Structure 1
């Protein structure tokens, strides 16, 4: 599924993976979220509700540009640096088409909506 992110006013295309957790995330769209830095690796925001993680895909090490969901906290994470390792609690939902890591690292606000 194609989605559109607007990061600090600039549109960016993105693609959600085809799995049950990504579809549950898509059911929340559109979203408008404030982002904060986490461990100088990712920008995070809390979703309005936790996602259903039954049928979650196999854990993968996040890469710069990945849009992920951290199940224990119920937060969305947009990685601007590669992660260290895979975690059973971190689910890769999709990825940003333009992996401008400099812009991702400075992002303060994001809107996410289905692409038309």
Structure 2
């Protein structure tokens, strides 16, 4: 399954993985959120409620372009730079076509929908 994310003049697609957390996110779509820069390697968007954490699984192939759910704050994390899995991230999917849209700095309205 794929989702389309749009903010400002940017649009990108995410190919979702199959897990309980992703299914819970899909059940909430479409969503209108706010996306903003966090640290130097990601953009984040806070969800209206926490997601099912059943998709938690260890992984070691972290890479820019991963979409994750951060258990600690209950937010989406769109990684455009390197990061390290620490046991508190659930990987939801992978951006298609590169991370360039995430490099636009600022805070924007974000729309997420299933395509």
Task: Give the alignment's TM-score, normalised by structure 2.
Answer: 0.86
- The corresponding residue for 2:20 is 20
- Cα shift at 1:42: 0.4
SS state at 2:53 partner = coil
Check conservation: 1:70, 1:76, Cα contact below 8 A. yes
- Cα shift at 1:79: 0.6
- The corresponding residue for 2:64 is 64
Task: Give the alignment's TM-score, normalised by structure 1.
Answer: 0.86
State the Cα deviation string for residues 53-84 of structure 1 (Å, max 9, x = none): 0242324453211111101100111011011x
Asked if 1:82 corresponds to 2:82, the answer is yes
Asked if 1:92 corresponds to 2:95, the answer is no
2:103 to 102, 105, 115: 105
- The unaligned stretches of length 5 or more in structure 2 are none
- The unaligned stretches of length 5 or more in structure 1 are none
Check conservation: 1:16, 1:22, Cα contact below 8 A. yes
- Cα shift at 1:105: 2.1
**CA distance 1:41–1:65, change in 2 (3 Å):** same
Distance 1:50 1:87 in 2: 19
- Cα shift at 1:31: 1.2
What is the count of residue pairs matched by the alignment? 113
**CA distance 1:66–1:55, change in 2 (3 Å):** closer
SS state at 1:24 partner = helix
